Amino acid sequence: MSAKFAVLRSFLVSGLSISLFCVVWELIANANVIPNFPGSLQTFGELIWWISDPFFDNGPNDLGIGFNLLISLRRVLIGYTLAMIVAIPVGLFVGVSKTVKSSVDPYVQLLKPVSPLAWLPIGLFVFRNSEITGIFVIFITSIWPTLINTSIGVQSVDSDVLKVARSLGASRSNTIIKVILPAVMPNILAGMRISMGTAWLVIVAAEMLLGTGIGYFIWNEWNNLYVANIFVAIIIIGITGFILDQLFEFLQLQFNYDS
Amino acid sequence: MNANPIVSDETFSEKEEDSHVKIVNLQKVFPVSRATLFNKKIENYIALDGINLDIKKNTFVSLIGPSGCGKSTLLNLLAGLDSFTSGEIFIEGKHLTGPGPDRGVIFQNYALMPWLTAAGNIDYALETACPELSPSQRREKSRYFLNMVGLERSMDKFPRQISGGMKQRVAIARALSINPTMLLMDEPFGALDALTRSYLQEEVLKIWEKNRVTALLITHSIEEALLMSDKIVLMSSGPSANIADIIDVPLPRPRIRKIIEKNSLFIDIKLKLEEHLLRETRAVEESS
Ligand SMILES: Nc1ncnc2c1ncn2[C@@H]1O[C@H](COP(=O)(O)OP(=O)(O)OP(=O)(O)O)[C@@H](O)[C@H]1O
Ligand SMILES: [Mg+2]
């Protein structure tokens, strides 16, 4: 009873908080401190308009928000998946072998702090294609958190468990696949969650320069000077990011070995 | 083979007297890097030096010594998990070359794989050590050994769902499942509460007395060593630890704690051991 009540209570409080925020927003907008600043009513009106018909196509500068969202999600998913295919095995090998660690470390340390957007012109120069460039930027973005989390996870695998595997005569490859990989699953998923979060942040910025996608939608509405639609996009980007994050939280719960 | 039972009986009893493990002049040096403000230098830490030990087949030997003297180091060497610096180790007359499923290891903190159930942990051991078994044979064996440690009803539980004592029982079942000729146990009861510990000691003793293999048990408990072993090996304090004394425990088997605790031999040996441990521990504490 009390657990149900607590959930209900937190929903109520959140709902109240949002309502209050919208009221204050509307009041400030109507005060006209910033000319033409859209209020919450206008923004939600637009939001309903956009989501009631998300899939229309009147050319690249007038695309339904559903299409734009799908374009962004597709870029993220492809770039992200490719990054995971590289990051997880490389992370495992970095964790297992000192030699691999020493040879990969310089790139990781040097490239990790670079904003992924710096790769955008390189991508355009090499691929001469905005679609592939977007995927490429997401690939570079997603790789580091997962690679680093995986390799750190390998180093913290219970040394007694490894001893047991070795004492049973397990080969190196058997140990990596059957012991180390499942042991570091929680770390891999934590890395993947961070990677996805960053990828979703970066795609919006990248698309402003690439054309099409939810990021370009924002840029286009800025050029149209229609700020309400920018807020619509922000709300949709936020909700999508939240859903993606929740997906990983669910996966992490499946691989929580401690409780 | 069975044509002459008398001869085979003789070879059997002769075999019982055979040496299972023979350690000759064993030394283990750890390189320790010491980083100071300006430089990093590698120093050698001589953990074990001049260890000579003979363990007879199917006997139960306990290893007691002050903290940090190198008991675990010695056990790891016997398990083939680490390399030694000099000396020789023979297992059943052959040079030790590395780890192998002829030796089952049990650690203080259970070392179970948390993503596998109790049965899954044993299945992994069987799959790795005995690849010739079919999945159904493995399942049957898992069940058999979990049954042996009284865990048949927790087969499908994950380590996080069972108590410390149950986890250690799974680890014991896992070590036994691969049919080792030798059990290496590093403080297997050390992480358990007193009641669970004494219960599990008796369980392991019962299983071992029914189904003898060579057993090496590291322990800090004199009572535990006396209850379980045929011989107690006393180690001196490190660095350069070696074997200070080997004490026979000729108490009759099967042993029952309540009965042997009243045996005068038990009390004599216990006093002797306490004296030794106190002396060696004092040496450790006063040197540091
Ligand atoms: N990998 C290592 N590198 C350097 N020194 C080590 C290493 N492993 C162990 N030692 C040192 O060797 C000595 C013996 O360690 P060991 O763990 O074998 O002791 P122990 O008798 O098992 O102690 P305890 O009773 O606390 O379990 C200790 O002084 C320890 O610091
Ligand atoms: Mg130890």
User: Tell me: the pLDDT tens digits for B201-241?
Assistant: 999 999 999 989 999 999 999 999 999 999 999 999 879 99
B109/A contact by beta carbon, under 8 A: yes
B32 Cβ closer than 6 Å to some ligand 1 atom: yes
Question: Is the pLDDT score of B158 beyond 90?
Answer: yes
CA of B236 to the centre of ligand 1 (A): 14
Interface test with B, best of A161, A164, A180 (most B CBs within 10 A): A164
Mean pLDDT of chain A: 94
Mean pLDDT of chain B: 90
DSSP string of A93-141, one letter each residue: HHHH-HHHHHHHHHHHHHHTTS-GGGHHHHHHHHH--HHHHHHHHHHHH
**Quick one: what percent of chain B has pLDDT higher than 90?**
77
- What pLDDT is stored for residue B40 in this prediction? 79
Query: Ligand 1 pocket, B44 CB below 6 A?
Result: no
DSSP string, A70-84: HHHHHHHHHHHHHHH
Q: Are strands B94-95 and B86-91 parallel, antiparallel or unpaired?
A: antiparallel
**Residues contacting residue B75 through CB under 8 Å, at least 6 positions apart:** B63, B105, B184, B186, B216, B218
Whether the Cβ atoms of residue A166 and residue A176 lie closer than 8 Å to each other: no
Alpha carbon nearest to ligand 1 atom 2, residue:
B30
Count of helix runs (H) and strand runs (E) in chain B: 9, 10
Determine whether the interchain pair B115/A161 forms a contact, defined as Cβ–Cβ distance below 8 Å: no
Residue owning tokens 């074997």: B243
Record: contact B160-A259, CB cut-off 8 A: yes
Give the pLDDT score at B276: 84
The closest of A111, A114, A110, A117 to A134, measured between CA atoms, is A117
Q: Mean per-residue pLDDT for A161-180?
A: 95
What is the percent of chain A where pLDDT is above 70?
A: 100
Please name the amino acid found at residue B285.
E
Distance of alpha carbon A195 from alpha carbon A141, whole angstroms: 7
Distance A54 CA to ligand 1 centre (A): 66
Element containing residue B255 per DSSP (H, E): none
Counting ligands in written order, which one lies closest to the CA of residue B220? 1
Q: What letters, b where the CB count within 10 A reaches 16 and e where it falls short, cover A3-23?
A: eeeeeeeeeeeeeeeeeeeee
Q: How far is the CA of B107 from the centre of ligand 1 (A)?
A: 15
The rounded distance, in Å, linking the Cα atoms of B77 and B26 is 10
Q: Token digits for A247?
A: 């997906």
Q: Check if B80 contacts A (Cβ < 8 Å).
A: yes
Enumerate the residues of chain B whose CB falls inside 8 A of the CB of residue A257.
Answer: 114-115, 158-160
Please tell me the least confidently modeled range out of A192-196, B172-176, B280-284. B280-284
The 10 Å CB-count burial string (b at 16+, else e) for B227-259 is bbbbbbbbbbbbbbbbbbeebebebeeebeeee
8 Å CB contact between B77 and B26 = yes
Q: Is the model's pLDDT at B288 over the cut of 70?
A: no
Task: Decide whether any atom of ligand 1 lies within 6 Å of the B67 Cβ.
Answer: yes
Is the pLDDT at B97 greater than 70, yes or no? yes
pLDDT band at A165; cut points 50, 70, 90: very high
Quote the distance between the C-alpha of residue A113 and its chain's center.
17
In this complex, the residue of B105, B109, B114 whose CB is nearest that of residue A167 is B105
Q: What letters, b where the CB count within 10 A reaches 16 and e where it falls short, cover B48-80?
A: bbebebebebbbbbbbbbbeebbbbbbbbbbbb
Residue A115 amino acid letter: S
Nearest-angstrom CA–CA distance, B203 and A139? 56
Give me the pLDDT at residue A222, please: 93
Instruction: Give the gap in angstroms from C-alpha B259 to the nearest C-alpha of chain A.
Output: 36
The greatest distance separating any two alpha carbons of chain B, rounded to the nearest whole angstrom, comes to 75
Tokens of A59: 């050319």
Least confident of A120-124, B187-191, B238-242: B238-242
